[in-house]
Structure 1
Amino acid sequence: MLVRIKAASLNYRDLLILRGQLGKAREGLIPFSDGAGEVAAVGAEVTRWRVGDRVAPLFYPDWTAGRFREAYGPAALGGGDADGVLADLVVMPETALVRIPQSLSFEEAATLPCAGLTAWHALVVRGGLGQGDTVLVQGTGGVALFGLQFATALKARTIVLSSSDEKRKRATELGAWKTANYRTTPEWDVEVRRVTDNIGVSHILELGGPDTFDRSLRALAAAGHIAQIGVFTGFGPQSNLIRLQLINASIDGINVGSGEHFAAMSDFIDAHAIKPIIDKRFAFAEVPAAYDELASGRHFGKLVIQL
């Protein structure tokens, strides 16, 4: 398959790769895992797609369905030795592509392969999120806002943490039930328990890492679920997990999702008219500025490159 990429989006992983924090990448590596475009040409044996179909490459090209296997890891787009999607044209096997939601533009769909799918896998596939649940979301980046939007569509309550009162206001406009400023309220776990009548939250998108995990454990309700996703505060020692046992809670490591998960998410996005939040759009020549913007943490939602 030859795919003409129309848009690509940045993830925190891309910044870590650029900095060499996820190991040494191949010289000349084409970056970015997330993009969307249209089929430009098909091989003689291709049966799934036609020229003009709107598609997105899978973050893990080999993870089409079923359980994750460690063997899928080295092929993750835009890292190690595997070229990504920041290119006019990319060649992919037909099984490594998924159809993008009909209701989304290429720019919007380019935010889905990692950020959108991670939130979907964490809350819906592994978490079983439903009406009446309460979700704690850390920050207002791509995964966090997708989590907020999916939870709102499923009639769950969401609490959003942010250091910016302006971002908290925007999160409320998107459907957040409560928000808290973790700068002015550093003991945000106490605040979370207060607003939930000391019950805690049933789901947590744990995006911070070592510096936030202890508070997440204290904010978690009995029989609750933590989705371990991010490392925004770096890499370091983990917490004592005995509390999980004491309250019959669980933790899942979440690493994007499969093509099967993507298809279900796309149907859900179309059915609920969900629009990904794009903070800024950049031209191809402005990619360095997009990396700088990502590193600054100023963004609300996703940063997109228009090709």
Structure 2
Amino acid sequence: MIQLVPGDPVRAALGTNAPPDLVASRRAQLGLDDPLLEQYLRYLGNLFTGDLGESILTQLPVADTIVQRLLGTLSLAVPAFLLTFAIAIPVGVAMAVATRRGRRRRAELSFVGTSIVLSSIPEFVVSVALVAVVAVNLGILPAAGRDGIGSFVLPVLALSIGPAAVMSRIVRVEMLAVLDADYVRTARSKRLSSLRINLRHALPNAVTATLTLSGIMFAAMVAGTVLVENVFAWPGLGSTIVSSIRSRDYPLVQGSVLVYGAIALLANTLVDVAVAALDPRSTIGDS
């Protein structure tokens, strides 16, 4: 697909004033004059040896560039993922307890409506709004760049607000189902405190569905950094892939997309293992 982007990557790397013979020599060196299928098969062959190629623009190994930039991306995605859980689980549990059996109908409608609106706003819109309000108007936090702890706050919030809204609704629904289960009613008959019933008996059984979706959510957060990093000028893999698309740096784009796919597969695999460990009934053998 990157090959369909108009323009010559070699000309973009060498400059518009580069001699034609130098451009032709560089294209031949990179194998860009070969048929597309031949380039694709050669790329696949190199992948099996761990070779992601070299950047056309910088002539540095793609793997080294990705490792350096991936750390910047994960430094946003991981805190945003943890913050999502820190917000969603308490809010979801509190709303489930407060609105159980049709109580506080207005609060329920307000919660559902607000969470739907927040989850439907794209990350880049949230990012721009945070920059405009918090960084520009209030001047509390930096608007861009990576300079100190304060520079993490706005991009992490931009990544976590939408997922936290989605996850809080899921936690609430699962918690409502668990609160009416037989073992919870048994715990109430023993005159246990509400806090102990909700946290020790109900919550562990309510977060299974949340954990199942957390792998997809983490992969979506990593992908969402592509837009968020560009709004906040963050030095991560997301901003790298955008700049490499603009410069038509084929190897760097392909390597970056490959890493995003690998992260999605790895995250979902780890979640499946975690869910199976927490709930043996979910394993294939028992099913």
Q: TM-score range by the shorter chain?
A: under 0.3
Name whichever structure is richer in helix by fraction: 2
Which of the pair has the greater relative contact order for Cα pairs under 8 Å at 6+ separation?
Answer: 2
Bigger Rg over Cα: 2
Name whichever structure is richer in strand by fraction: 1
Q: TM-score, normalised by structure 2?
A: 0.22
